[in-house]
Amino acid sequence: MSYLIFSAIAAIFIILILLQINKRNGRKLLNTIRANWGKPKTGYFHFERIEKFFEFVPDRSFHQLSDQTIFDIDFYNIFTFIDRTTSKVGQQYLFKKLMSPSNAIEELKRFDATVNFFTANEALREEIQIELTKLGHSDAYSLSSLFRNKLMVNPPRYGLLIIRVFLLIALLALSLKFPVLLICALSLVVINTIQHYWNKNNIFQFSRSLPQLNVLMTIAKIIHKKDAFLKDASVEKSELELRKLRYPMALLRLGNNGGAIDDLSGIFSYFIELINGAFLIEIFTIHHVTKVLEKNKEHILSLFNYIGNIDTAIAVASLRHGVKNVCTPNFTDEKKELFVQNIYHPLIANCATNNLSINGKSILITGSNMSGKTTFLRTLIINSILAQSIYTCFADKFTTPLLKQFSSIRIDDNLMEAKSYFLEEVTIVSSLINEVSSPDQNIFFLDEVFKGTNTVERIASAKAILSYLNRHNNMVIVSTHDVELADMLRDEYDLYHFTETIQQDQLHFDHKLKAGPLKTRNAIKILELSDFPADIIDEANNISGKRSQ
């Protein structure tokens, strides 16, 4: 009797200790969540895994960023700064969202409402973030693999496997009376076991995704019940439909404990593995599971999108909290108008802000190197993309129609394909030209059109191309050193410029956009400040003076 009392006290003591540890871990996790609020993530970003959801479920409903635009805007650095997600599902969802600017205004507004909901309900948001950490393991990246076109290749002659298993059962039963048949049964066991281990390749691809699917289903169910605002009829339906997978998934996990086993569990594991191999249980189970998965991809996607959208909305709430000046965009009808106030580049510390108003004409920007032209182009296109993806802009005001964004800003010689700079530029600009007659409104960003060729042909070609891109309601933002283009395009483009000043023999850039053509020239003065020989400076001034007359 005393032994039972002692055991009960010990059990209660252990339970209390475990509860205390769990409570302490919960407090630690909550403190970590609070400490990270409003801050960018640190650590390594596994982009090969992060982009898998976008790869398997691309969104072509409106627009996808081109490889060139991704390169031009340093997309991966932008993503790294914006990403404040808690789960791997949310991280993959955010990546896809940023890669696919939307024209669905109501959907964007619903997303903004979700962001505001989590901003206003801090305690609930923290509860949900704690749940989302359960999908924070790297294995959760593998959930996206369930959206591939073909989940599994069945073993050859699958129907014969069923016959072999029935034959094995019959031989084992008959061997009780005719022991000689046991040899035939053992032969089948060997053949089936070989088939079983061949199928391990199919099992392996699900060894991470199926347990995480179970976690996804559980978390979606928990979050769905947290608040009426988070209710979604499709989530409840999808969770109900996917319940049929729980038992087969549990069966697949039996005997697959990763090899970290003690003697007792090892014996059990080997026994389960023997049964699995002899009777091909894993093969039949995975065949059944994949058939169910194939039929229910839309339900898995529904839960994935539900969790991804919530996590991304929380991440954007964190982003807005951690950045001083952000705004939500104001979308207008299709017309050649765009207005921005105090816009800035999110990755540049203490970045100069700028204003721009487009009204009926496109924009041509002149200025020297380092004055801010290219950065301003990147600033505009980044904010245009963010407006139509996460409904957030780094500006005081951002008024715009719904646009497709295209760019030709950063171009390199393609040595691997033996393309010169000029040919590479021709290819990229050609892709922009192909978009001019599309039914949607475009905005094109170009930096130094055709700088890879001679001056006469560069200016002539640039003028013709910029006029062509400016057709319909398309908007063009272009920077150039060729001031001759300003006169040629005066009727189609408003002129702006960046400039620098010489202050106490030092070059000073204010990086502020100014209306009108560039009137100052400081290039030769900069050569002089850089201690070039006087002969060079004098000759340059003489030539410049003659050409300007």
Give the chain's end-to-end CA distance (angstroms, integer).
114
Average pLDDT rounded to a whole number, residues 243-268: 57
Q: How confident is the model at residue 166 (pLDDT cuts 50, 70, 90)?
A: confident
Name the 3-class secondary structure at 518. Answer: coil
Return d(Cα 23, Cα 127) in angstroms, integer. Answer: 14
Return d(Cα 186, Cα 216) in angstroms, integer. Answer: 42
Return d(Cα 393, Cα 320) in angstroms, integer. Answer: 10
Return d(Cα 355, Cα 203) in angstroms, integer. Answer: 57
- Residues 85 and 314: beta-carbon distance below 8 Å: yes
- Select the more confidently predicted residue: 266 or 104: 104
Token pair listed for 424: 């590479």
Strands 330-332 and 404-408: unpaired
- CA–centroid distance for 409 within its chain: 22
Which has the closest alpha carbon to 286: 181, 200, 173, 376? 200
Name the 3-class secondary structure at 53. Answer: helix
Average pLDDT rounded to a whole number, residues 431-443: 94
Q: For the segment 297-306, what is each residue's pLDDT rounded down to a tens digit?
A: 899 999 999 9
- The pLDDT assigned to 259 comes to 41
- Residues 374 and 366: beta-carbon distance below 8 Å: no
Strands 514-515 and 506-509: unpaired
| The model's pTM | 0.84
- Select the more confidently predicted residue: 426 or 22: 426
Name the 3-class secondary structure at 151. Answer: coil
From the number of C-beta atoms within 10 Å of its C-beta (0-12, 13-18, 19+), residue 367 rates as: buried
